[in-house]
Structures are given as structure tokens and as C-alpha cells.
Chain A
Amino acid sequence: MQFARTSLAVATAVAAATLLAACGSGFDDDGDDAGSEATGATEGGGSLTVMIGSSGEAETVAVQDATSRWAAETGNEVEVIPAQDLVQQLQQGLAGGNPPDVFYVSPDRFRMLAEGGSLYPYGDQIDDADDIYQSLRDAFTYEDELYCAPKDGGVHALVIDTEAWTAAGLTEADYPQDWDGLAAAAQALTADGRVGLAFTGDYNPVGTFMLAGGGFFVNDDQTEVTADTPENLATLQYIKQNMDAGTFAFAPNIDAAWGGEALGSGKSAMTIEGAWIVGALQNDFPERQWTAVPMPAGPGGQAATAFTNCWGIAADSENQAAAVDLVNFLAGSEQQQTFAEAFGPIPSRASLADWNAETFPEKAAFAEGMDNARSQVAVPGFESVLADFNTQLEGMAAGTVTPEQALQTLQTNGEALLAQE
């Protein structure tokens, strides 16, 4: 017994020492090398790690295939790490000075990473960058410098249950063009146990309505909060009126986790989602007949929120030249077509718009109007402010918060955050 305990203690000590050594190795990086000069050689022999926030097996396999094809061509090695929680794992890598070389970056986290000097800005090295939609490039531009190549992109669209649509006596000519048309269609589609339009009750779909209403959460360069404006108030009042009429609803209020579930389960006849709904409907609700049309225009014209991710390259990467080469391969037209076929993202290149519309007619609407789109707010810390706005929206649906109060709270919280910057 005595012996067993001693050996256990020794084993613990050894394990602890090993762990320490492993943890410690991250902290000895020698400062900031985020210059414009790329580190490492372009050709051969390098090894890269690519961390992705994968939507599933299909995406992981597609990225692995693509990177190994590139690796075979160039003589490099690539390891793809599908992160369980990309935000957290990436943050750990950065804090430890040992980040992956290439990783997904979403617009709402982009500015935090760019400000923190964690991203290597390689916008000037992207092949044919002008071909990438302007709104997507804007999402990854900080202080007039494009930092990374958008890997895909798409906007919110109005997704319609076509069976319900025809059953209500509507035709393709009736697809709503403006907000009045949307309200009328929602009314026609509302039936017992089904609302006309349901969408996730958070800031994303509401932000899309705000854009069409001629407003948004922040101004163009994201330096001022523009929440409490007459345009936004009119937008919220429009939503509120239709909710009171029982023709619009937030998905959680009709017992659906998100818009896709509301539409798929038949609890709503229309919803507002991005291209990710395609796969979800195919998997979970294969019986549902649907189509997607561009968002109807509001008082401020036709507009929607754009969703995208880019291939970020770490400022601490020792192999930036090879990483840029890999990203140019992955974000090139040919590879984006392969990805679109494999797991369904919408290409970020305008030159592929026609190909996308022909090959995947059901996804065409998610790529239309990319030029009028805006991406999510990128101000660091805005996540908590918008999370609070979600709570205000919940209150608005429940009737405890007025649209005015919701916008005023958002304005106050947003201004307080920007004042800290």
C-alpha cells in the first residue's frame, strides 16, 4: 500500500511537470511580428494548422480534402482542426501565443482580433480581390485595410412554404415586393395553429428589417450608434403592429427554437433566414416544400444583413507566405465551387453568381442583393449590447416594453460602449 501511494504521488508529480512544460511553451513568443512582411517560405516544407468551426461532417471532409490537395501540390503539410467551440479554442491559442495559422473569422469578432493585432493583414495579396462582393470585403476591413479573404457570403431571404402559399390562393406573382405586400401575405397565410411569418426573435432578422427601413444599429463606419432614430422606430412599430395582429411572431413564442424550425414544423408559413436553412430543412424536414425569395423592400429600399466568414491568418504564424498561398487556393473560384457542391456555402465571388443561380436555383435568393447588404456589427463588446436588445425585443413581443423604450435602451448601452473605446 505504502509503495502504491508513493508511486502514485510520483506519477502525479511527473504528470504535473509535463503539463506545465506543455502549457509553458506557449508563453515564450518574442513579441509582435505583425508587419506587412510575410514570414516563412512560399514553396514547400512548411506545416500549417487550419482551425475551422465546422457545420458538420460534410464541411470538415471538404476542407480536409481541399487542404490535402493543396498540400500535395505544394509539398507542405496541413492539419485541419475542427473546433468544438471555435471562439474559445482560438482565444486560448491567441492568449498562449500559439494560435493556428489559418482559422475562420466571423465579422462580429473580426474587429476585436484586428484591433488586438492578432490578424495578419494580407488583403493586398488576395488573388482578384475585386471580384469578391464589396459588402463582404467591407466586413473585414479595418482602418481602410482589408485583412482577410471572405470564404463565402449570403444574405437573409424570405423563405416561403409553397404548399401553404398555393393553399391560400396565392401565386408566384404575389411574392411580396414591399412591406405592405409582406403584411398582406402574412395575413393571408395565418391560419389556425400557424402564423404567417415567424423569425428568430433576435437582432439579426430585426436588423435586416431595420436596413430595409432605412436604418441600422450603427452608422456606416461603426463609430456612432444610430439605434434611436425615426426610421428604426417605424420599423419596430411595423413589426409590433403585425405581431399584435397575430400575423408575425418570434419563433420562440410559437414554440420553435428558430425560424427554420418554425417553417419546417409548419408553425409558420414564412420565415427569414440565411442559406444555412437549406441544409437544415433537407435534414430535419425533408417533406417541406419551400422556396426562397429576396427580402421585400421597405421604406429604405431593398436591403438585408449579410453573413460571411473569412480565412484569418494569425499574425503569430511562422508560415504566413504559405498560409496566404493556401487561402488563395481555398478562396479561388474553382475551390469555392467545390465547397458549394460539397456542403452548400454561397460563393463570395461575384463572378460565380450566375453559376450559383443556375446550379442551385433554390439558393439564388440568398445571393441576391449582396451589394446593398451590410454585415453584422463588428464593434468589440457589442455582443452584450445586442444581447440586451434581444431581451428588449422579447419584452416588446410580450407587451412590457414599447418600441421607443427598446431603441432608447439600445442607444444608451451602445453609446456607453463606444465611449469606452
Chain B
Amino acid sequence: MLMYSASIAPYLRELSTRWRAGIAYLLTDQAYALSVTRFGADGTVRRRWYYLGVAAPLWIVWQLCTVAGVVVGTRVPESLPLSFAVPLTFLALLLPAVTDRAGAVAAVVGGAGAVLGADLPLNLGLIAGAVAGVVAGVAVEAGGDR
């Protein structure tokens, strides 16, 4: 979330503090990934409204589904691999986010690093992998300039 905040922050600098506080409150993985991909590809998009259009429905559905999960969660059969739907959403968001060679390197190193660090406590493998991916991507980009 700290990395999401830093990564989306450059696109939101001209907004008021109140707007940015609201955006931070609604920040989820999916809202972040969709918005930042769109903001990077399309400079003309009206960012606050695009973000709100993504994040507000997500927030509402999240609340409703949390209630649904509390009520019927224990009755969902264990064999139904619902948890696999979550990485699938990230996968669908990942591919459009890779737009060049540096992005591809960042993704490969990020994924491999997270697997290597999967045993680390507190989700540190995810953080270490992501940081390694960004560093590797920056290195490739710098190498390509020469």
C-alpha cells in the first residue's frame, strides 16, 4: 500500500487535500492498478472522476461481499478454490501494466523474487520481490539509454 501510494501520487498532485484523502481511503489493489495503468497511458483522462468510477463501486461491493461472507462463508464448500480468483484479477491487471522491456523485467524479477521470499514472515517476500523488480527495471532502462 505504501508503494501504491507513492506510485499513484505523482498523478494526483494538483488535487485538493480533501480529494486526495478520499482517494487514499478508497485505495485498493484493483483501484490502484486500473487507475495507474490508465493515467500512464492517457494524459487527458479526468483522473479524479476515473478513479472515483473505479474505486467507489469496488468499495460498495467490498462491503456487501464482506457481509455476505460473514453470513454464508462457512457454507461454501472447501473444495471450491475461490481464493484463486484473487490472483486471477491481479493477472488480468498485470498484463496491460507491462508496456515495455523495463516493465517486463520488473515483472519477471518481481515475481521470481516474491517466490524466493515466500517463506519470509509478514509478507516481506512480496515487498522484497516488488522492490527488486523495480530496481531491475530501472537498471535495464538506464542500460538502454546508453
Do A and B actually bind? no
